[in-house]
Amino acid sequence: MTSTELSARQGIGITALGMYVPERVVTNAFYESYLETSAEWIESRTGMRERRYAAEDEYASHLGVKAVRDLLAHDPDALQDVDLILCATGTPDALFPSTAALIGEQVGLRGVAAADISVACSGFVYGLAMAKGQIAAGIARRVLVIGTEVLSKRVDQQERNNAILFADGAGAAVVGPVPAGYGLGEFVMGADGSGGGSLYMPGAAPQLPDGTPMGEYAGMNGREVFKFAVRVIPESGQQVLKKSGLSIDDVSWIVPHQANIRIIEAAAERFGVGMDKFIVNLDRYGNTSAATVPLAVVDAVRDGRIQDGQQVLMVAFGGGLSWAACTLKWWAGAPSLRAEA
């Protein structure tokens, strides 16, 4: 039975949302003080004007906890029946215990199953897919899915091409039952390890199996990642639309990974739609990897752009190299899923 057939009986979708970005605002002018660059160059190349950096004693679990608490501030009962926590992060507090478990313990979910997802920027959409699968299989009732990153701590701040891009933030969503006809539709996901050397976060090994050396910080081949992204965003997006029985004209909003405005513009051209169909907030938050998609969704829900019954397409790409896309018919029936007055 396909997930579309399952959703005809009962939908599985997002039932609560929350977000958090650190207090410290880092504008493009900050990099002018010590790198060979200018604020104008950064904005023209990336679309970014500012981003947020975590405090010295603030890590992925802290940001994730604050995103969940924001969710609870809007909907105090949102975590009832949550029996699984999935945390997408490429910058965990530790390899173990999982950042998911650390967050769960602090938000009243001690003892709940918890695991981290490590596919970088694709992680939140991967998490939604896993959450839907667990609920559809009867293994979980509700799943808390979090994307949280402190990339400012894992990027070489002396390396211009990476330092200006990456930032910190967290988004959280509860996945659970929604009315029939609403919720998460189909998914398309994939990974290609042969491209791992183009975008990686160092671990225990000094190098990747293909011989790519890894140092202390995250590494990225911007040219290769750009080529990959402008191909895989429209490709995976069209695949999941076809799988869902939809066309791009049926979609009200496209929520892409917020990596670079030029990537999003190229994707818009290949989709054959205008930029006004894309949810974009990288100008304010930069690239927060696994947190970009939930941060963009929360922004668009709270300012009233995403409305009940609209069809949303989420598309992300990341390290692995990985990619993920899904369709979602928005349900606005819970307190944290409505526009703020």
The catalytic residues are 121, 257, 287
Distance between CA 3 and CA 144 in Å, rounded?
20
Query: What's the rounded Cα separation, in Å, for the pair 15 and 11?
Result: 11
Q: What is the rounded distance in angstroms from the CA atom of residue 317 to the CA atom of residue 289?
A: 9
Q: Quick one: 2 exposed, middle or buried, by C-beta within 10 A (0-12, 13-18, 19+)?
A: exposed
* Cα 173 to Cα 15: distance, rounded to the nearest angstrom: 7
Q: Where does 188-291 have alpha helices with state H?
A: 222-244, 261-271, 282-285
Contact (CB, 8 A) for 255 and 316: no
Distance CA 316, CA 325 (A): 6
User: Residues of 111-146 as b/e, b for ≥16 C-beta within 10 angstroms?
Assistant: ebbbebbbbbbbbbbbbbbbbbebbbeeebebbbbb
